[in-house]
Amino acid sequence: MTAINPLPQLTLPQMLREQARKNPEKLALRQKDFGIWTPYTWADYYRLSRRFGMALFSMGVKPGGKVGILSENKAEWVVSQMGAGIISAVTVGVYPTSPTPEVSYVVGHADVEVIVCEDQEQADKILEAIEELPKIRKIIVVDMRGLRDYESDLLISFKEFEELGAVFEKENEGLADSMLDKQGLDDDALMIYTSGSTGKPKGAMITYRNVRAGGWAAIERLQITETSSVLSYLPLCHVAEQFMTNFGPIYKGSTISFGESIRTVQKDLREVAPSYFLGVPRIWEKLHSEIHIKINEAGGLRKAVYQWAVNVCSPIREKMPQEWSLIEKAKLHFFYWLVFRALQNFLGLRAVNLAASGAAPISPQVFQFFRVIGVPLVEGYGATEISGLVTAHNLSNVVSGTVGIPADIAEIKLSEQGEILLKGELVFKGYYKNEEATRAAIVDGWYHTGDVAQWVDGNLKIIDRIKDIMITAGGKNLSPSEIENTMKASPYIKECIVIGDRRKFVSALIQIDMESVSAWAEEKKMAFTTYKSLIENPEVFKLITGEVAKANKGLAPVGNVRKFHLLRKELDHDDDEVTATMKIRRSKIYDKYEAEIKAMY
């Protein structure tokens, strides 16, 4: 039996209004521009959102109309989303890293009428494809630099647009509130497009009831409170950042910070010192590699002390906190002050009460590393179609290799094949303009996730995607994700794509981590100029051979990588090798590197 959602029966924009009424002067948002943090109270947040919504309405955007946002995370992103929400329009986020064809597909498929662009680069993508986007009636640009001389009636600055809204609101006093009053939980809130790793992205329709359920799941599992603070940096067009930045915080009234850009995340983390933090596995792998590089650079006594601390604390951290003896607690305390406190400061995570990894499986070795140095890391599981987070560990019961226990409002079961099925208010409404895919995904009220799992001591353990599970020539089932994540625990391996289906043995395509391998090569006084020249050095091949052999020891013999090929370039979104969320497009990779794969067999 699932629990009852205790959050107010209000939509997200209605809850924003409620926070503005109850806590008008409390800090809601802050944004860093040119090194200076600009604060926004809840009253500011609601006022700016209202003006944006009124400007949309004055242009003819009606309830149910689609408003696109093509930008990195910033205050204008959430103000646009809440403004659209106030007039019951639907927000469609678009990845700012996407090339023009992908942007054009999503904006056109979603029937977007008005789009907010961050700057000239993003506005150019829309203007370049404008012939294919006949429904676009206005392009609102946050940063107008480089666009002043453009001759297009479609362009308007974000500031001007809000000023239009302020004038319209003054002439139509009470309109925003009356529109909000009519809003219901079953109204559409968002359209979130899937990554498109196996085909064209699909637009998942998320209602305010879904948002409210996803908000409570995030609040309950991630322990979000009124005093929580978070740095918003993962793309807001992804459901993971939506529940971190909007769903949970607006219902709870906590504070969101927007840094300068995705490139300044670590510096911003140190300044913000968030109380909770979500990272996708690649973020954790990158942070792990950076620490590895710093420790190697330090060398000598510092490296020896660090290794001593890790060796002593690793077996302690494998136990539950309630099982620690007084001596073990004293050791953790000693090494925290001697070594780990400085590492946590370097990461910007010393103040976190809870850190989470999600969106894809994380390597158990990387996961355990952060727990050893005292970062309270848990793993979670969720999906766009189930409104975000559905399971996460309890800090008092972290079972490594699992994704924790279900949120108390989530109804989960496993099918006979082990597929995760989910029912209830978390389940999305369906795919936009794709009834066939909706019928295949939701059967008798149960959402079929496509993920195979099993229960381990009440925690859910993800095996892999059903479609990705491989069967060797010998008839053995293999999980490529498990093998790939074990390999990626190495700080020198950035990506690993496993090949093994119907094959006599497992092989892999490997992309080195340029930063870590470069540092290693410089330390060895090896000459190189580019990524290609680096991987062509026989010493690098030897290095990766050693890392693969090390990783193989943690795998069953049938899952050992017997041969590998080092990729001569980094996988790229523009080359259609990865999605905007950096998910591997397996079929594309297999086709592109067919000759290299054949050579290994």
Q: What is the pLDDT of residue 138?
A: 96
- What are the angstrom distances between the C-alpha of 397 and each of 281, 372, 427? 21, 15, 27
Q: What is the DSSP string of 452-485?
A: EEEEETTEEEEEEEGGG-EE-TTS-EE-HHHHHH
Identify the pLDDT of residue 8. Answer: 95
The residues pairing with 139 across neighbouring beta strands, listed in sequence order, are: 115, 155
Same domain for 416 and 295, yes or no, is: yes
Residues 168 and 184 in one domain: yes
Model pLDDT, residue 255: 95
What is the reported pLDDT for 283? 86
**Residue-level pLDDT at 398:** 87
Among 466, 500, 518, which residue terminates a domain? 466
**Residue 298 and residue 197 in one domain:** no
Cα 394 to the center of its chain, rounded Å = 20
Residues 417 and 497 in one domain: no
Q: Does residue 416 lie in a domain region? A: yes
Same domain, 387 and 477: no
CATH number, domain containing residue 134: 3.40.50.980
The count of other CB atoms within 10 Å of the CB of residue 465 is 18
Question: Domain check: are 561 and 432 in the same one?
Answer: no
Same domain, 434 and 549: no
Yes or no: say if 555 and 486 are a contact pair by the CB < 8 Å rule. yes
User: Is residue 436 included in any domain, yes or no?
Assistant: yes
Residue at a domain's end among 444, 466, 488: 466
Within 8 A by CB and 6+ apart from 387, the residues are: 206, 210, 211, 213, 214, 217, 239, 243, 247, 426, 427, 428
Query: Is residue 238 in a domain?
Result: no
Q: How many domains does the chain have?
A: 3
What does the DSSP 8-state code read for residue 39? E
Enumerate the β-bridge partners of residue 175: none
Out of 466, 497, 517, pick the residue that ends a domain. 466
CATH number at residue 590: 3.30.300.30
DSSP letter at 7? S
Q: Distance between CA atoms of 306 and 522, rounded to whole angstroms?
A: 22
Q: Are residues 587 and 494 in the same domain?
A: yes
Instruction: Specify if 183 maps to a domain.
Output: yes
Domain region containing 309: 279-350+352-466
**Co-location of 387 and 474 in the same domain:** no
Residue 256 domain-assigned (yes or no):
no
Q: What is the pLDDT of residue 480?
A: 87
Residue 413 within any structural domain of the chain: yes
Verify that 504 and 530 share a domain, yes or no.
yes
Low-confidence ranges of the chain (pLDDT < 70): 1, 196-199, 472, 580-582
